[in-house]
Chain A
Amino acid sequence: MSIPVIEARGLTKRYGTATAVDGVNFKVAAGEIFGLLGPNGAGKTTTILMLLGLSDISSGEARVFGHDPMREPLAVKRLVGYLPDTVGFYDNMTAADNLHYTARLMGMRSAERKQKIAAALARVGLAEVAEKKVGTFSRGMRQRLGLAEIIMKDARIAILDEPTNGLDPQASIELLELIRSLKAHGVSILLSSHLLDRVQSVCDRVALFNAGKIALMGTVPELGRHVLGGGFAVEVEAESSDGIAKRLSALPGVRSVEAPAPGRFRMTCDRDLRAEAAAAVVAAGGRLKQLSLDQPSLEEIYTRYFQNVQEEARHAA
């Protein structure tokens, strides 16, 4: 892993006696998409605001490109583009004018501004409505306008809070596509969400928040192994041959083989054994019809994890 662009060490936020964020540690590497996941009120937005220097840090520290958001908020805010949860714009101003205002706040010169705003609006597909008032925009268009602001800023890091919240499926697919293209342009991305299946498709690594703490962190398959226990699940469908199950279970690295239906086998293994399984089926004289690796879904991991947590709590009580 290269040098982290965002680093949080023991980041804590207390409101009176309540602790919203409790000793959170994580690093975001350059060029990766890092997801903060968890239920509403788990402390995701508070963590983001502390990273941006918009909320005081009670204890612990944060670094964004080596800058302390408490002491050098302007340096941090120059490098980071932020898309808040349900972003707002001045409704009585046009899309382009809204961007012109923020560009002026960034201290951009007039000629540069015009060119960058036009380019950014074109990239998010809002070039035709650049002179329309934002009051007429749909939610998805506003979110895209927010991304255009980040693009215009040439931000090195984009922090997106619940970017797909409240969007229809088509709009959120478009938005995720834009987020991927940001990554392709070398922007590191930190995004928070409680919509898991959508996030799974874009995140390189995720951190699962629960009650102000990071419960789990890693890539989705890593989390799957950790929470769901089993390693890889390979599904094999083959025609008319006996002894396939035996051969499959003889493969090194296979823990168990089940046969949920005739001709279908489900193997749990330590690593991806698809190639070996195919060879075994063919060697047994069977005709291989389908072979697939079951990716653990983030939703499954998430639900299972919180079930486990609740059960533990019940046992403790």
Chain B
Amino acid sequence: MRREGSPWQGLGVVVLKELSDHLASARMRVLEWLVVLTALAAVYAAITQVRDVTAQDPFLFLRLFTTARDPLPSFVSFLGFLVPLMAIGLGFDAINGEHNRRTLSRILSQPIYRDALLFGKFIAGLTTLAISLIVLWLLVIGLGLLLLGVPPGGPEMGRALIFLAVTIAYAGVWLALAMLFSVVFRSPATAALVTLGLWLFLTVIWPALAPAIAEAFVPADDQALLVTTAQMLARVSPSTLYGESVLALLHPTTRALGPVYLSQLQGAVMGAPLPLWQSVMVAWPQIVGLIAASILLFVGGYVAFQRQEVRA
């Protein structure tokens, strides 16, 4: 059965409205300050740490992102923790909030499809996240220029830019997940709790659980299989995927993200950095996985929303 008209009708209107809501909301301001303050602290710590080795390191700028100094974790680990929090904060009441305000049926009785509302909210959320992440990224680069006094090279900037894109994709996964639960659960509090619970599980518990599960199902004498199985299981979590792709992108010497046999290392110049695109190739499955996960989760939310009854 063909529907008349375009599913995108009204999309731009919804995006603009949601975007202005997000950018003006108190919730967003709190999250932004949280992210900016903690991330800047991490970068400052990193800078004081790497200053001493300025001359030797060819990828000095990337160290800004990855260097940790006790007691602060690195900028990247901060992001891995806070980006999901921001995304969930923006998405957990996307649809059920409209339900509870009783605006949903009134908005849907305008000449638009449900597609426009859901997709518009997703785009607006992702744009908000992208804006804050880009600002943060520029802040870090700016601070680096000021405090290190060394201009970054082309490949470094390329890596940093791809890292930014991957972080946005990572945010998209959590946003799509939060929106899916905002469709499924009528109460925003339930949706937020379930999403946060799942996030904690996938980020903290699952990576520790994966080897244990692998051990239970794989014969103990096959060490290689055991390691790969554990790794495959761990990669179910978007946090693992993000961590691995960041590792490949920001540590140019990373040659593989899985176990490597000694025979494969024959002739390799240990410790030599890979060219930019080779590093991207190493992280490519993880990057695609992140994008695919956000698409899948969004489609799940879309299907659930299309079938949902609008009456309160």
Listed in ascending order, the chain A residues whose CB lies under 8 Å from chain B are 45-46, 49, 52, 54-55, 70-75, 77-78, 80-91, 101-102, 104-107, 146, 149
Contacts and interface: CB of A to CB of B under 8 A. Distances in A.
Given A54-B108, A89-B103, A73 B113 contact: yes
Contacts of B205: none
B4 A82 contact: no
Nearest to A150: B109
Contacts, number: 85
B309 A71 contact: no
30 contacts: A49-B309, A54-B108, A54-B310, A55-B309, A55-B310, A71-B2, A71-B4, A72-B3, A72-B5, A73-B113, A74-B113, A75-B111, A77-B111, A78-B111, A82-B105, A82-B109, A84-B105, A87-B102, A88-B102, A88-B103, A90-B101, A91-B101, A102-B106, A102-B110, A104-B10, A105-B13, A105-B14, A105-B107, A146-B106, A149-B106
A71 B105 contact: no
B106 A74 contact: no
Contact of A101 (B4, B13, B111, B309): B13
B139 interface: no
Interface residues of B, number: 26
Interface centre among A46, A88, A90 (most CB of B within 10 A): A88
A45 B310 CA distance: 11
Contact of B1 (A55, A70, A78, A102): A70
A106 B14 CA distance: 12
B4 A75 contact: yes
Given A49-B310, A54-B310, A74-B113, A86 B108 contact: no
Nearest to A88: B102
Nearest to A91: B101
A87 B1 CA distance: 32
Contacts of A73: 3-4, 113
A73 B9 CA distance: 12
Contact of A74 (B102, B107, B111): B111
A85 B106 CA distance: 10
Nearest to B116: A105
A101 B105 contact: no
A104 B103 CA distance: 16
A83 B109 CA distance: 9
Contacts of A91: 101
Contact of A71 (B3, B108, B113): B3
A106 B102 contact: no
Leading 5 A-B pairs by shortest Cβ distance: A88-B102, A82-B109, A74-B5, A105-B110, A104-B13
Interface of B: 1-5, 9-10, 13-14, 17, 101-103, 105-113, 309-312
Nearest to A68: B4
Contacts of A70: 1
Contacts of B111: 74-75, 77-78, 105-107
Contacts of B106: 82-84, 87-89, 102, 146, 149
Given A55-B310, A107-B9, A102 B102 contact: no
Nearest to A55: B309
Contacts of A74: 4-5, 9, 111-113
Contact of A54 (B3, B14, B105): B105
B10 A49 contact: no
A77 B3 contact: no
Nearest to B101: A88
A12 B101 CA distance: 29
Given A70-B1, A74-B113, A78-B111, A90 B103 contact: yes
Contacts of B103: 88-90
Contacts of B2: 71
Interface centre among B2, B4, B113, B312 (most CB of A within 10 A): B4
A142 to B, nearest CB: 10
Nearest to A86: B102
Interface centre among B14, B113, B311 (most CB of A within 10 A): B311
Given A71-B4, A74-B5, A82-B106, A105 B112 contact: yes
Contacts of B105: 49, 54, 82, 84
Contacts of B3: 71-73
A63 to B, nearest CB: 15
A101 B1 contact: no
A54 B311 CA distance: 9
B25 to A, nearest CB: 9
Nearest to B310: A54
B77 to A, nearest CB: 35
